[in-house]
Amino acid sequence: MLAQIAAEKRAKIRELKKKKPLAVLVERLAGAEPVRSFADALTRPGISVIAEVKKASPTHGSFGLQIPVAELASRYEAGGALAISVLTEEKFFAGSIDDLRAVRQAVSLPVLRKDFVVDPYQLYESRLLPADAVLLIAGLLPEDTLKSYLEICGELNLAAVVEVHTAEELAAALRAGSKIVGINNRDLVTFRTDVRHTLQLAGLVPRDIILVSESGIRDASDVSMLAGAGVDAILVGEVLVRSADPEKKIRELLGGQAGG
């Protein structure tokens, strides 16, 4: 599935470049909106919630979202989320860059563009949307490519969450210079999800690296467990999108922090 998504993404980017070459994006950077600090949002006391705007997934299909994405994001912010993640992949996750634009206009929080980055073009595009951070998947990018993308993100003042699932991917992410590591509790090959997977890798993450746990987080007991493992932030999507009261659900999750 991951290889299929990446292949289709590369084909789409080839078409985008024909319509709007990279040089055009670079020219527009001078007029880009200021970024909101994603790292600052994740390093406040306690666990920070990155609440995700997600309409569908390859494994579960449509989530039946009934309200505009901007309204959902506003409700996330009201509930205490400190950052918003927006799926922008179209075919498999029913997202769009228009969703990201709408969300960023609706909230004062930093916004993460969650997509499958396979070309530097997407980094420049993300900065101009504007996104404040991007997701880079270590399992999709060779280490030298990941390092190059992180350097571009640094030049663009764009935060990058490097997503890993294995100890080998984590080691590569750290060697490449990642400052924010996201441990994905979902295996992108089997799609099996276990929130305890974060505990297996958390001890390998240096203390000066921002640690995010992604996927499978459903209740305050999960958050309490992750807080005890030194996690700085959690990325929560499906459980919030499906909730009748996402503000209340975020508050319930935050109640699971050590001392919360």
Q: Of 117, 111, 155, which is closest to residue 130 (Cα–Cα)?
A: 111
Is 91 annotated as catalytic?
no
Residue entry with tokens 């294995």 = 166
Is 215 annotated as catalytic?
yes
Q: Of 85, 57, 95, which is closest to residue 234 (Cα–Cα)?
A: 85
The catalytically annotated residue of 215, 238, 247, 249 is: 215
The values of phi and psi at residue 117, to 5°, are -85, 120
Dihedral sign for Cα atoms in the order 188, 199, 48, 152: negative
Is 238 annotated as catalytic?
no
Report cis status (omega within 30 of 0) of the bond before 21.
no
The catalytically annotated residue of 214, 238, 247, 249 is: 214
Is 12 annotated as catalytic?
no
The values of phi and psi at residue 42, to 5°, are -90, -10
- 190, amino acid identity: T
The catalytically annotated residue of 114, 125, 169, 238 is: 114
The catalytically annotated residue of 48, 54, 57, 89 is: 54
Is 214 annotated as catalytic?
yes
Is 249 annotated as catalytic?
no
The catalytically annotated residue of 57, 74, 184, 185 is: 184
132: which 2 tokens? 């404040």
The catalytically annotated residue of 89, 163, 169, 238 is: 163
Q: Which helix (H) or strand (E) holds 73?
A: helix 69-79
Is 247 annotated as catalytic?
no
Residues tagged active-site: 52, 54, 114, 163, 184, 214-215
